[in-house]
Amino acid sequence: MTTTLPLLLASASPRRRQLLSLLGLPYTMGVSPIDEEAVQERYNGPITGLAQWLAEHKALGTLTLAEADNHLVITADTTVLLYGEALGKPRDKAHARELLLALRGCWHHVVTGVAVSRSSDGKPEIYSASCATPVLMRPYSEEEIAAYIATGDPLDKAGAYGIQHPEFQLTERINGCYLNVVGLP
């Protein structure tokens, strides 16, 4: 007899919730209790592995929560890589402007790491992977940057942009998985 575990999406990202809902899968919500900045500071591997490593650590943290018992837990993290450096979420509007200026007219990579985990006999079982998508930003204007920042949309996104924004199409081209850039490949 096969038992299906209910899903727990441990993510504060509204985009990940939306993507999972589009699949028609029932799930409950949670948030990993880890201090993401502290965990990221301990990372010393290749920058391309950061998102997957963070997704795994979010999984480990989530599995300690009572709500994760008897659930299949999904965690994820997205990083924007430009010239070998990870661009995080902007601290404020001025930082969002800096990030958007740095990305303007440039190729960069969006890497999303995903971990699917559960507790089995009190031990964590974690399966993880990552996906990298090259993205080319178009040469948008200062006025477009200001208008986009005024929407508030960039403030909760790695690299200060959302490819799915209905009005501000800042990208010129992507080579790969669009949904990876949104946040869940």
Residues serving a catalytic function are 77
Quote the CA–CA distance of 127 and 111 in Å, as a whole number.
17
Residues 6+ apart with CB under 8 A from 137: 103, 104, 105, 106, 108, 161, 170, 171, 172
Name the nearest CA neighbour of 131 among 95, 184, 88, 64: 184
Quote the CA–CA distance of 106 and 138 in Å, as a whole number.
8
3-state class (DSSP) for residue 117: strand
Is 5 within 8 Å of 70 (Cβ atoms)? yes
